[in-house]
């Protein structure tokens, strides 16, 4: 049996290769041709304050890049991107064609879209980049507004506490003398309010400054690609070829083992497990 296997290895390999290429060709016909366009977004931190340096903004952008990469694939940004590109559909229809990757050791983010149309890919990638910039700015403004409202609420609550303490300290003659603790409490409240006013003024000032420089900006818009993606197709063809080759060889080996026909002296000796005493030459002559 092993002899027959060794004799048929050439045929097995040939048939396996043919089957592999046939499978790869069939799979290649079903692989869609995709064109990927990429827009580059820069993560620019708030303007540097006195005593800080440009490296702070770079490190901050690198730290925030993964968060913004996830935001690109959010339903809100995807829906805004479709609307900005003037394309129909839902966020779920394009989420698998959108990728966002942070460029290592930089404050840059790559927003890529892969579709069957080069112009569509570029238009959608640019629309998503613009939607990401707008969404990030809206989130920042919402967060700053909530922080300012919280500070205002704290100052109002402290002001409400100061009124009765001030009235007790300003009691008319003959009234009960305020305790020393009341004056100390009033001083602490006044100091806390002054601190909150400073923080409030800082947030309000920074809000005005940051409005002049968005957190994100499109550093390089996407352009329609001239060549389609090839990596996925080559990988698929290679995998299909390997699988087809293995299946082809396995099938031929199985058929060889199931074949019990005797094709020569070696097969006869192996089948009967007896020594071979002699061989009678065959003849083509008919009697």
Q: State how far the Cα of 207 lies from the Cα of 219, in Å rounded to an integer.
A: 23
Place of tokens 């396995």: 250
Q: Where are the beta strands (DSSP E) in the chain?
A: 35-43, 98-102, 108-115, 216-220
Each residue of 196-206: pLDDT tens digit?
778 878 777 77
pLDDT tier, 47 (very low <50, low <70, confident <90, very high otherwise): very low
Each residue of 233-287: pLDDT tens digit?
555 556 666 676 677 667 766 666 666 666 667 766 776 667 766 667 766 555 4
Whether the pLDDT of residue 5 is over 50: the answer is no
Compute the average pLDDT of residues 187-211. Answer: 75
Q: Are 76 and 116 in contact (CB under 8 A)?
A: no
pTM: 0.59
Domain boundaries defined on the chain: 12-30+244-272, 35-228
Each residue of 49-66: pLDDT tens digit?
434 444 565 677 778 888
Whether the pLDDT of residue 136 is over 80: the answer is yes
Each residue of 86-108: pLDDT tens digit?
999 999 999 999 999 999 888 89
Q: Which CATH architecture has domain 35-228?
A: 2-Layer Sandwich (3.30)
Give the pLDDT score at 176.
52
């Amino acid at each position: 049996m092993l002899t027959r296997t060794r004799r048929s290895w050439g045929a097995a390999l040939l048939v396996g290769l043919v089957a592999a290429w046939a499978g790869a060709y069939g799979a290649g016909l079903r692989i869609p041709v995709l064109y990927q366009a990429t827009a580059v977004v820069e993560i620019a931190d708030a303007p540097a304050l006195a005593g800080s340096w440009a490296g702070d903004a770079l490190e901050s952008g690198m730290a925030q890049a993964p968060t913004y990469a996830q935001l690109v694939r959010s339903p809100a940004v995807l829906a805004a991107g479709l609307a900005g590109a003037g394309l129909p559909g839902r966020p779920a229809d394009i989420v698998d064609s959108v990728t966002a990757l942070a460029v290592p050791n930089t404050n840059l983010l790559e927003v890529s879209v892969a579709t069957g149309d080069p112009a569509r890919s570029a238009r959608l990638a640019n629309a998503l980049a613009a939607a990401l910039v707008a969404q990030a700015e809206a989130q920042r403004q919402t967060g700053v507004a909530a922080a300012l409202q919280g500070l205002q609420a704290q100052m109002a609550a402290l002001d409400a506490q100061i009124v009765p303490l001030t009235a007790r300290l300003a009691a008319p003659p003959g009234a009960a003398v305020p305790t020393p603790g009341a004056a100390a409490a009033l001083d602490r409240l006044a100091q806390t309010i002054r601190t909150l006013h400073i923080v409030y003024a800082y947030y309000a000032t920074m809000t005005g400054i940051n409005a002049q420089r968005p957190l994100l900006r499109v550093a390089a818009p996407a352009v329609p690609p001239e060549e389609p993606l090839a990596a996925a197709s080559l990988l698929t063809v290679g995998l299909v070829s390997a699988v087809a080759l293995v299946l082809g060889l396995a099938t031929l080996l199985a058929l060889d083992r199931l074949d019990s026909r005797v094709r020569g002296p070696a097969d006869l000796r192996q089948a009967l497990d007896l020594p071979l005493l002699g061989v009678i030459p065959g003849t083509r002559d008919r009697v």
